[in-house]
């Protein structure tokens, strides 16, 4: 019986992994230009980290986490990147270093959810976090980095949508107003949203159920109930985006799927992949670090799905450059020349060339056919006759020419 891949996961094959390398290297370069350092956290964390950080009224915690028991502890494969970074920040006392702290990461995440275009149960995510400042310049910088990165890949149809989802102070009033609006509709809401009604009614606005979406279509939005501090912060963000010449649209429907967000919430969308158009999303979370057990520290960041990004690049017709093919294939005839062939191969590799050798014992014809398929620029042929004369036959695969040269002339000839 053949064992197949688990549903919701995908193999990244050698024929396509170069695409991943390209977007990953571009992301590292972009983060470096903005002064971010990479952080790597474990694949799994204690379950309570996500319950406290992400929020136990979210779909992620209620329905989607991969959780298992081991040695009396509940552990969870990480469904998102921010909470683990916060945990590492607190545990390693990184708050003692100069502020702001600026981190980026490239991680796999796991969520048991309905699969959609560009969304798997194991998916991959870029993310950045800035800890230590309430200044809206940080929010604008986070957005600018995301826009720079995506546009730098060649994507030209991006649109930025922003919203403010307030803070605990102004949400208290808004919660009452929203509950008053939803109370007559409570019976038609899904069971999950009925449970959210008392604890976190704003989460109902993020429900994917068509019935709940229709029930909340005309519901009051948080932006109409912002306190003076949140209003000022939102105006500062808008001014900063204008200063950066980044166009935006205010979208009061943006809530984001995580409970830790405060004030800024944003999404960057592309029309290349249909209804599921969000490529990047993020916002501010000024109380998350304190909630998880650290000192009061504001934060802001984003997450960007790599699978969706690759779909956008394909839909936009952006050609990702393939890596350079093999430089030299070394064909060997007979047993005697093998030691010399291995030495030549290692010498050329040490000089920085990509080298393939025959490890199958093929005939010369089969070796040359393999060299052609590997797109080698040159083939070095060494047999017993060449070994005795201290030469090799060098074939230019693109020009279909061949000549004998001394072994120490190979490097000069293939430059």
Whether the per-residue pLDDT at 272 is higher than 80: the answer is no
CATH topology for the 328-414 domain: Rossmann fold (3.40.50)
Identify the pLDDT of residue 69.
Answer: 94
**How do residues 347-362 score in pLDDT, each as one tens digit?**
999 999 999 999 998 9
Identify the pLDDT of residue 302.
Answer: 97
**How do residues 111-152 score in pLDDT, each as one tens digit?**
997 776 667 899 999 999 999 999 999 999 999 999 999 999
CB 248 within 8 A of CB 162: yes
Q: Which residues of 74-97 are buried (b: 16+ CB within 10 A; e: fewer)?
A: ebbbbbbbbbbbbbbbbeeebbee
Identify the pLDDT of residue 372.
Answer: 92
Structure tokens at 137: 């310049």
Identify the pLDDT of residue 254.
Answer: 87
Domain boundaries, the chain: 17-167+227-315, 328-414
Q: Which of the four CATH numbers 3.30.530.20, 3.40.50.1390, 1.10.1200.10, 3.30.930.10 does domain 17-167+227-315 have?
A: 3.30.930.10
C-alpha 269: how far from chain center:
15
Residue 325 binned pLDDT confidence (cut-offs 50, 70, 90) = confident
Question: Do β-strands 278-284 and 37-38 pair in parallel, antiparallel, or remain unpaired?
Answer: unpaired
Identify the pLDDT of residue 257.
Answer: 61
**How do residues 292-319 score in pLDDT, each as one tens digit?**
999 999 999 999 999 999 999 999 999 9
Range scoring the smallest mean pLDDT among 16-20, 207-211, 265-269, 289-293: 207-211
Identify the pLDDT of residue 57.
Answer: 64
Strand partners, 104: 38, 128
Can you tell me the distance from the alpha carbon of 269 to that of 309, in angstroms, rounded to the nearest whole number?
11
Identify the pLDDT of residue 62.
Answer: 76
Whether the per-residue pLDDT at 274 is higher than 70: the answer is no
Q: Token match 């007559």: residue?
A: 184
pTM of the model: 0.90
Longest alpha-carbon distance in the chain:
95
């Amino acid at each position: 019986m053949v064992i197949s891949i688990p549903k919701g996961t995908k193999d990244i094959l050698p024929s396509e992994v170069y695409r991943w390398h390209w977007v990953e290297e571009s992301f590292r370069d972009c983060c470096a230009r903005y002064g971010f350092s990479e952080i790597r956290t474990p694949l799994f964390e204690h379950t309570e980290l996500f319950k406290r950080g992400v929020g136990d009224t979210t779909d992620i915690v209620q329905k989607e986490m991969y959780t298992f028991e081991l040695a009396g502890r509940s552990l969870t494969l990480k469904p998102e990147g921010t909470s683990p970074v916060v945990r590492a920040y607190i545990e390693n006392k990184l708050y003692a270093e100069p502020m702001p702290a600026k981190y980026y990461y490239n991680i796999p995440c796991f969520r048991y959810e309905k699969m959609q275009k560009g969304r798997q149960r194991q998916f991959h995510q870029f993310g950045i976090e800035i800890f230590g400042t309430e200044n809206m310049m940080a929010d604008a910088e986070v957005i600018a980095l995301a826009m720079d990165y995506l546009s730098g890949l060649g994507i030209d149809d991006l649109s930025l949508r922003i919203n403010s989802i307030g803070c605990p102070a102004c949400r208290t009033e808004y919660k009452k107003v929203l509950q008053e609006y939803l109370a007559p509709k409570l019976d038609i809401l899904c069971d999950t949203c009925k449970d959210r009604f008392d604890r976190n009614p704003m989460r109902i606005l993020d429900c994917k159920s068509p019935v709940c979406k229709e029930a909340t279509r005309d519901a009051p939005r948080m932006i109409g109930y912002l306190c003076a501090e949140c209003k000022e912060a939102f105006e500062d963000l808008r001014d900063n985006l204008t200063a950066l010449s980044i166009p935006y649209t205010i979208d009061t429907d943006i809530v984001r799927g995580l409970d830790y967000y405060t004030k800024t919430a944003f999404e960057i969308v592309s029309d290349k992949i249909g209804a599921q158009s969000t490529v990047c999303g993020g916002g501010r979370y000024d109380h998350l670090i304190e909630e998880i057990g650290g000192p009061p520290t504001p934060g802001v960041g984003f997450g960007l799905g790599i699978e969706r990004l690759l779909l956008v690049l394909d839909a936009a017709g952006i050609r990702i450059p393939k890596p350079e093919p093999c430089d030299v294939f070394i064909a060997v005839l007979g047993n005697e020349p093998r030691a010399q062939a291995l030495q030549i191969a290692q010498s050329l590799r040490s000089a920085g060339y990509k080298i393939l050798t025959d490890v199958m014992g093929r005939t010369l014809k089969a070796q040359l056919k393999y060299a052609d398929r590997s797109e080698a620029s040159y083939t070095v042929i060494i047999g017993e006759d060449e070994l005795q004369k201290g030469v090799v036959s060098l074939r230019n695969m693109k020009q279909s020419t061949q000549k004998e040269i001394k072994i120490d002339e190979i490097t000069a000839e293939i430059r």
